[in-house]
Structure 1
């Protein structure tokens, strides 16, 4: 039976969501094929918990765990860590060095997609619609008037490397820009200021098995708040409609663009990308290569609508990752 480490936690405020995602993965892994273990990765310590909640330290030298005289070495890692170090390529590079198979894309592509600046620049090169944006470094002197002349008002101020809408502000007045920039810089040393796009927001789950790309039913997001912020995502302050009620022509266009984006970014495993539909044209917002898998998350709801069970899906993720590592 394959020993599977379901890693969860992380170094950011997204860790609480990651713990929920990891729990769902752990509970839905087939016990006839897998022997799953809950492994927690936090800045202060890495450890595994057994069914009695007893903790065992993870040996970072080879990612093994000693339980008495028995040493557990994992056949595959199921990555359920949102944000750093699970979504930005750090853990992927670590497992690559140890030659341990892991779910999701490789370290290079994880790092590129987590960095909004790199991701947007690449996709624009391929002709994908995006909002007008400006990038700032923490020590850079900027001119408020020049920025607003380019992006206009309202606009969004975002950390360059952050998930779950942490540190994002929607700015309506010129006087509010400085505080929004300050807030974003608390999350990252680089930020993005983007023009506001008026339209319908949708989310698209995409995954690949054996070199074939699958696009899941589209979800429309209607936030009760000003935008789809952290509270909207995780406190029930949004309406998520799956499948989205879209004209067939728009639906097909979004699915084709989502597939192209997946290909252009050279991804593998699962992803979830967000778009705003403006006058019938999808504009790319961002992509998550470790999307939420909790009971409230969008991706599992899209799987359910497609008639795919979590147990079957997770099994395929793991087996495909093991096969890919052998090549």
Structure 2
């Protein structure tokens, strides 16, 4: 029976969502094949919690458990959104320890989590994206120069953050500076993007039995000004799966979603957002560790095609172990 460390939590404001996702993973792992352990990686401490809520601290040098002898994990199921689980830091750590883990490699995680890197790569491959402008925290900038390129309204986003944290939609020039400062709270680099008028969709893609699968597309209709944190996790949005799209537009999205997955050399699970402008999809961003909570889109897309979380997780884990073995 494979011993699986389900890691959850993380160091960002997305930790509360990660804890929900981790619980879902833990509860849906088949007990006939896996012996799962709940592992919490928080800013102030790393620990394992057993079914009686007793905590055991983790030795960061080798990812073993203090007080429990001979417990060696066969695979780590990474359910951490944001840093350090989605930006490549945790993947690099497990690479050094030679412990198999789910998801893409550390360098691919680093590229996808960094909007600047990811958008630059998408543009290189000819994928449609919004106009963008990048700023570092200590950089002197001219608002007029930015708006001449980007226009209004526009979005101001932290470069390395998820769940729409720190994002603002700016309608007037006088509000741009405050939006920039808000984004800098989340990250020392930010991205300012032009507004795209169109229908927003979310597309889940994953490797399943050596085949790249594109899940049913979800249309997102936010009750707020855009698909922000509240919309995602407080029921302030309407999500339609499958999305009501013409066959031509749906085919375009499915093709570009699969190409993006290949361009980024991903493995495992991903979910990307697009805006459909005049029938053409524009890439917004991609998540390599999508949520699994009740509010999350990815599980709902799986349900439409009849793939259970238990079945997906089983394939995911064994594929990750096999990839690690081949790497050795």
Scaled to the shorter chain, the TM-score interval is over 0.9
Checking the alignment, whether the CA contact within 8 Å between 1:66 and 1:72 is kept in structure 2 is no
Cα distance in 1 for residues equivalent to 2:291 and 2:15: 11
Cα distance in 2 for residues equivalent to 1:279 and 1:72: 55
| 1:15 match | 15
Please give the per-residue CA displacement for 1:1-35, whole angstroms capped at 9, x wherever unaligned. 10000000000110000000000000000000000
Is residue 156 from structure 1 mapped to residue 155 from structure 2 by the alignment?
yes
Cα distance in 2 for residues equivalent to 1:210 and 1:234: 31
Matches within 5 A, 1:170-249: 170-249=169-248
| 1:61 match | 61
3-state SS of 1:186 partner: helix
Is residue 255 from structure 1 mapped to residue 254 from structure 2 by the alignment?
yes
Is residue 31 from structure 1 mapped to residue 31 from structure 2 by the alignment?
yes
* 1:319 CA drift (Å): 0.5
Please give the per-residue CA displacement for 1:252-306, whole angstroms capped at 9, x wherever unaligned. 1100000000000111110000000000000000000001111110000000011
| 1:85 match | 84
* 1:71 CA drift (Å): 3.1
Checking the alignment, whether the CA contact within 8 Å between 2:3 and 2:35 is kept in structure 1 is yes
| 2:277 match | 278
Please give the per-residue CA displacement for 1:17-65, whole angstroms capped at 9, x wherever unaligned. 0000000000000000000000000010000000000000011111111
Checking the alignment, whether the CA contact within 8 Å between 1:274 and 1:284 is kept in structure 2 is yes
The runs of 5 or more residues in structure 2 that have no matched partner are none
Cα distance in 1 for residues equivalent to 2:138 and 2:174: 21
Cα distance in 2 for residues equivalent to 1:295 and 1:4: 22
| 1:48 match | 48
Cα distance in 1 for residues equivalent to 2:58 and 2:238: 40
* 1:210 CA drift (Å): 4.8
Checking the alignment, whether the CA contact within 8 Å between 1:11 and 1:85 is kept in structure 2 is yes
Cα distance in 2 for residues equivalent to 1:73 and 1:60: 13
| 2:141 match | 142
Structure 1 residue ranges, 4+ long, deviating more than 6 angstroms after superposition: none
* 1:195 CA drift (Å): 0.3
Cα distance in 1 for residues equivalent to 2:225 and 2:289: 25
Cα distance in 1 for residues equivalent to 2:85 and 2:209: 23
| 2:4 match | 4
* 1:209 CA drift (Å): 3.3
Cα distance in 2 for residues equivalent to 1:264 and 1:211: 17
Could you tell me the TM-score, scaled by structure 2's length?
Answer: 0.98
Cα distance in 2 for residues equivalent to 1:80 and 1:299: 13
3-state SS of 2:250 partner: helix
Q: CA RMSD in A?
A: 0.7
Mean Cα displacement is larger for which, 206-215 or 146-155? Answer: 206-215
| 1:106 match | 105
